[in-house]
Amino acid sequence: MDTSAFTAWARPFEGAAWRDVVRRSDVLPQLGRSVLLHAGPPFDAAPPAPVRQAAAQALCFEGLARDMEAALAMLARGEARLLPAQDHGVATPLAQVVSASMPLAVVGDGATEAYAPLVEGPPPALRFGSAAPEALSRLRQVASLGWERLAPALREQPLPLAPVVAQALALGDECHSRTGAANEALAAAMPWLEAQDHAALRASPGFVLTILMAAACWRLRRRDAGIAAVGGNGLQFGLRVHGEPQWRTATAQAPRGTRMPQHAATPALGAIGDSAVLDFCGLGGQALAAAPALCEEWRDVLPADMGVHRQAVVQVQSGLVDASQVRATGQVPWVNLAILDRDGKHGLIGRGAYPAPLELLR
């Protein structure tokens, strides 16, 4: 397959390889078991329902609470501390909250690294803020796969991710809302996997997403990136610039795009998730020119020419969103995100695009 047209678009991921699977406590031992990591900027108010439910699930996973009722009571009493994941080199999807024992993909160049949780599959799932007990049992299954079978092989033979990105773009993925081709490329790069494990990965096309998120988080942690962290917590969308200790934030609006028919009128949560790191590394909303199917699906929401849009916000040499270009052109980066229901009752209700607030990039 000729992927040369997209080699430059994969430039932010050059040098990044999936190298290991570990527990959070292995790489961030200073964070105690009662510390939980969430997406986006710090909360300045009570977390929304999907995040509270994911946090309660995390306390159950840790064995700190016997059930969801007890875990929610612990949260109400302030017995767990919620901190922004990216401030600790972790990128977590949507509403998922990362606890000390959860499995993390380790991605980097051997000198520096970043992390993201392995996801357990389609709904019900922790990243959608699910309170269903099946989500935890499936997380334990994928954790076992990660620690027992993926980690030993990846330590011996790290998996480069730039070729995965370039191949997926050539096949019509933008590597955020559409990840099927990227997931196939990832699975194909692991021929040493047993057939049943290959089948499990292929049955979960979103599995690759957090691996790529870890790579994007790794890239943004380098000081030449300008923007160090970016994401939403459901209430606020924010970014943190290298050299600034605090996040810049704005009220998070819900992404607009495609709703499931039964949820056309369901109240939606504001933009949530650390997966915005992908869009700020030139994928997702900045790679929609490679995904005509999504452009057509969201034609009433997006700018008319996403190729021209990319040129307006992405710096050619680095492949990253560049704040100075955004200021000069007045065009904002777009972030492709799943849409969650606000009240935590239904989980995933659609997918769409979110324009990052211009004031954050001034």
Domains by residue range for the chain, with CATH: 4-361 (3.90.1700.10)
CA distances for 174 relative to 22, 158, 163, angstroms: 28, 23, 14
Q: pLDDT, tens digit, for every residue of 112-131?
A: 999 999 999 999 999 999 99
Q: Which structure tokens are listed for 86? A: 């990216």
Identify the H or E element spanning 349.
Answer: strand 348-355
Nearest to 100 by CA among 183, 37, 9, 142: 37
The yes-or-no verdict on residue 360 having pLDDT over 80 is: yes
The band of 5, judged by pLDDT with boundaries at 50, 70 and 90, is confident
Q: Which amino acid is at 170?
A: A
Half-sphere exposure of 83 (CA within 13 A, CB side): 17
Percent residues over pLDDT 70 in the chain? 100
Contact criterion met (CB below 8 Å) for 68 and 57: yes
* Average pLDDT of the chain to the nearest whole number: 96
d(CA 281, CA 291): 16
Does the pTM exceed 0.75? Answer: yes
Would you mind telling me the total number of residues written for the chain in this entry? 362
The answer to whether 142 and 120 have CB atoms below 8 angstroms apart is yes
Q: Per-residue pLDDT for 1 more than 80?
A: no
CA atoms of 285 and 129, how far apart (whole Å): 23
Q: Please tell me the distance from the alpha carbon of residue 329 to that of residue 283, in angstroms, as a whole number.
A: 19
Q: How far apart are CA 258 and CA 100, in angstroms?
A: 35
Report pLDDT digits (tens) over 283-297.
Answer: 999 999 999 999 999
Contacts 24+ apart (CB under 8 A), 354-358: 354/232, 354/237, 354/253, 354/254, 354/255, 354/256, 354/271, 354/285, 356/230, 356/237, 356/239, 356/276, 356/332, 357/237, 357/250, 357/332, 358/326, 358/330, 358/332
Q: List the Cα angle 245/282/6 in 5-degree steps.
A: 150
What are 177's two structure tokens? Answer: 């809302």
Average pLDDT rounded to a whole number, residues 12-36 = 98
pLDDT of amino acid 96: 98
State the pLDDT confidence band at 4, using cuts at 50, 70 and 90. Answer: confident
> pLDDT tens-digit profile of 175-222?
999 999 999 999 999 999 999 999 989 999 999 999 999 999 999 999
Question: 86-102: b or e for each residue (b if 16 or more CB lie within 10 Å)?
Answer: bebbbbbbbbbbbbbbb
Residue whose token pair is 């977390």: 47
